[in-house]
Amino acid sequence: MKILIIGASGLIGGAIYNALKNEHEVFGAYRTSSEYPVDTTNAASIRSLFERLPKLDAVINAAGAAPFKPFETLTEDDYYEGIKDKLMGQVNLVHIAKDHLNPGASITLTTGILADHPEKGSTALALVNGALHSFVMAAAPFIDNNIRINVVAPGSIGNHMAENELFAGHKAVAIDAVIEVYKEALFGSQTGQVFRIY
Ligand SMILES: NC(=O)c1ccc[n+]([C@@H]2O[C@H](COP(=O)([O-])OP(=O)(O)OC[C@H]3O[C@@H](n4cnc5c(N)ncnc54)[C@H](OP(=O)(O)O)[C@@H]3O)[C@@H](O)[C@H]2O)c1
């Protein structure tokens, strides 16, 4: 398969890249890449990346941010920052990617536990994650050419959680387990799903 991974130098995207690179033709993109630079907050940048690539069988996005600030300090601009970056970055990616994919291809987005689980500072991120879950559910039936679209919502990755007060009562998830969930979204037959791992 020909697979594009955006965020391929990051914790999650890098692990996905390494897990797939030996058996597939994998293209790793991120802002500071010398080979496949892309900024998902800029639709023209996404378009120009796809114009350089062959038709693909899958796109996985593991990039996107929103401010992590206490509720009482959040401004309207803070919300828009997350909407422009993690939300519309991934929404625009889907709209642009669908014209550069083979029939039956797969698109996988990334959100996270903060869609469902409040933490001090998580409100702006939760807004975006929750919107993406609804977007994937409502876009999936209407994407042509049997293109599937899903989202992976990981918990906090790593084993540092006991050392701070965030995510009290939650277990950290192992990166290897998270990668298996991306593979399920990638190679399975489901569409419109939120794959939660936490
Ligand atoms: N780590 C966790 O525990 C965890 C848990 C749940 C959900 N998540 C979510 O998973 C996603 C990835 O997290 P991560 O921990 O792997 O992040 P990370 O280690 O900071 O990596 C982010 C990756 O995305 C790229 N990137 C950032 N902004 C970009 C943009 N606008 N356009 C293109 N590429 C961009 C970065 O490279 P450049 O800086 O060069 O662009 C890097 O390759 C985030 O949305 C995060 O909220 C993470």
The CATH code of the domain that includes 135 is: 3.40.50.720
Candidate of 12, 36, 61, 167 to mutate for ligand 1, largest count of ligand atoms within 8 Å of Cβ: 12
Q: How far is the CA of 116 from the centre of ligand 1 (A)?
A: 19
Distance CA 60, CA 77 (A): 28
pLDDT value at position 169? Answer: 82
Domain residues for 14?
Answer: 2-197
The DSSP 8-state label assigned to residue 171 in this structure reads P
Q: Domain count of the chain?
A: 1
pLDDT value at position 179? Answer: 98
Nearest CA to 159 out of 170, 169, 168, 172 is that of 172
Q: Would you say the CB of residue 45 lies under 6 angstroms from ligand 1?
A: no
Distance CA 98, CA 138 (A): 15
Distance CA 173, CA 181 (A): 12
Q: How far is the CA of 76 from the centre of ligand 1 (A)?
A: 23
Nearest CA to 17 out of 51, 78, 58, 73 is that of 58
Closest approach atom of ligand 1 to CA 41: 31
Within a 10 A sphere around the Cβ of 68, how many other Cβ atoms?
16
Distance CA 69, CA 120 (A): 8
pLDDT by residue, tens only, the chain of 198 residues = 999 999 999 999 999 999 999 999 999 999 999 999 999 999 999 999 999 999 999 999 999 999 999 999 999 999 999 999 999 999 999 999 999 999 999 999 999 999 999 999 999 999 999 999 999 999 999 999 999 999 999 999 986 565 667 888 888 899 999 999 999 999 999 999 999 999
